[in-house]
Amino acid sequence: MRFDLLVKGGEVLDPQAGYHGKMDIAVKRGRIEAVEKNIPQDSSFDVIDASGQYVTPGLIDMHSHLYRGVTYWGIDADAIGSQSGVTSWADAGSAGAVTLQGFRDWVITPSKVRIFVFVNISCIGLVAQDYELFNPEYCNIDLLKRVVNRHRDIVVGVKVRAGRSGGAQDLLPLKRARRAADELELPLMMHISVVPPDLETALGFLKPGDILTHCYTGQTMKMIDSAGKIHPAAKKAWESGVIMDLGHGCGSLSFESAEALSSQGYWPHVISTDLHTLSIHGTNLRDPLKGAGKRDIGTNGDALSINYQVKGDGKPNFHLLTCMDKLLCLGMPFQEIIRATTSRPAEVLGRKGEIGTLKPRAQADITGLVIDRGEYELMDIHGVMRHGREHVRNTFTVLGGRRFERIEAPTPPPWIELV
Ligand SMILES: [Zn+2]
């Protein structure tokens, strides 16, 4: 046998490699070995029939929260990844200098999926819901550098939350995060949400190659003015090479912002979930336990469209495919959606050619997808509804050359009340 695994008969879609059409993918020793038409079935020990499906590089979710058991926000990446075809993840600031070793030992090493880290400028990371920046002494650059230099293989950037939720008293955390990123020679990922600071001040801290997450936010740091026109500072950042990341979460996808920006040609460079304990269950940002028990309204048909009802405002974002449904509904071409969930994030994570592509020698991470047609109710985080006509569903996943079987999601932590 020439190959270990063959994915046969699918519609291969890899924007970076330029593959678009019916092809077979052969895998050997955990790597992509060949992408060709009509590779014989009997050349491989194992065969996945992908006919009628899209076959894409293993998906990458560049903004998530995965430090389960230690932080308020952490969810299980293996379970969600196995159910949605996401094989590589980046955690956005769950761990800080003091907690990074634990993240590595207790989460990253035992996980099946690949996990990269944007390390928080605050040494405590996102242990509790908010206020990691309340004490300026937590933003210790020297400590951060000492720790990051021992974890260079997994750290891909520095994370800071601009806006009220971090609890910063002034601009000091942004200044320290900027300096830390520069001295570590890593990109800075900045979250925007609620003023202060204002958008322009926050954007002033970003350079080309840095990442702004929550680009379609409807909160007070949003990137459009009252007439729906892109803010001049946002336009400058978008066009100058700052990476614009969706980061849906439970506070950051406004259809109003998304429709205004996309109609002016401003699409996210990277589509990510900001998946965490709240967003995954469709709860309200501040008061997960309050509210009238509104039903979760999500896309149906995949294992993660759980029947949980949450006592909250119900703003579900089950996984990366839910984000895809919403971007399709907004009119983003499917090929661009795949680019924004494969090769683009791979490049931002400094892993171009290694993940996010099906080119020979890349890691054999492969995702099967189908697009169901019908009528699907989609909701933004403000409860605004749209009706989508397409729903993306995961059919199979290969991780590191092996079938990635579905794993049941663990029960949510006690602060998430399900009814
Ligand atoms: Zn986040």
CA of 46 to the centre of ligand 1 (A): 38
- Residues 204 and 123: their CA atoms lie apart, in Å, by 24
CA of 271 to the centre of ligand 1 (A): 13
Return the beta strands (E) in 380-411 as ranges. 385-399, 402-403
User: What per-residue confidence (pLDDT) applies to 106?
Assistant: 98
User: What per-residue confidence (pLDDT) applies to 376?
Assistant: 85
SS3 for 131? Answer: coil
CA of 216 to the centre of ligand 1 (A): 14
User: What per-residue confidence (pLDDT) applies to 129?
Assistant: 86
CA of 301 to the centre of ligand 1 (A): 26
CA of 247 to the centre of ligand 1 (A): 7
User: What per-residue confidence (pLDDT) applies to 418?
Assistant: 61
For the range 224-229, what are the long-range contacts, defined as Cβ-Cβ under 8 Å and sequence gap of 24 or more?
224/256, 224/257, 224/260, 224/261, 228/256, 228/260, 229/260, 229/264
User: What per-residue confidence (pLDDT) applies to 178?
Assistant: 98
CA of 1 to the centre of ligand 1 (A): 45
User: What per-residue confidence (pLDDT) applies to 414?
Assistant: 81
User: What per-residue confidence (pLDDT) applies to 164?
Assistant: 85
User: What per-residue confidence (pLDDT) applies to 300?
Assistant: 30
User: What per-residue confidence (pLDDT) applies to 309?
Assistant: 35
CA of 228 to the centre of ligand 1 (A): 25
Q: Return the bridge partners of 377, or none.
A: 387
Q: Taking the model in full, what pTM does it have?
A: 0.93
CA of 346 to the centre of ligand 1 (A): 18
CA of 94 to the centre of ligand 1 (A): 8
Q: Return the bridge partners of 387, or none.
A: 377
Question: Residues in the chain with pLDDT < 50?
Answer: 283-315, 419
User: What per-residue confidence (pLDDT) applies to 316?
Assistant: 63
CA of 214 to the centre of ligand 1 (A): 9
User: What per-residue confidence (pLDDT) applies to 310?
Assistant: 40
SS3 for 248? Answer: coil
- Is residue 218 within 8 Å of residue 382, measured between CB atoms? yes
CA of 45 to the centre of ligand 1 (A): 41
User: What per-residue confidence (pLDDT) applies to 222?
Assistant: 96
User: What per-residue confidence (pLDDT) applies to 297?
Assistant: 32
User: What per-residue confidence (pLDDT) applies to 228?
Assistant: 97
User: What per-residue confidence (pLDDT) applies to 315?
Assistant: 46
User: What per-residue confidence (pLDDT) applies to 33?
Assistant: 98
CA of 376 to the centre of ligand 1 (A): 26
CA of 207 to the centre of ligand 1 (A): 20
CA of 53 to the centre of ligand 1 (A): 31
CA of 65 to the centre of ligand 1 (A): 6
User: What per-residue confidence (pLDDT) applies to 377?
Assistant: 82
User: What per-residue confidence (pLDDT) applies to 385?
Assistant: 86
The four Cα atoms 127, 130, 135, 139 give a dihedral, to 10 degrees, of 60
The four Cα atoms 78, 84, 89, 92 give a dihedral, to 10 degrees, of -100
How many Cβ atoms from other residues are within 10 Å of residue 207's Cβ? 14
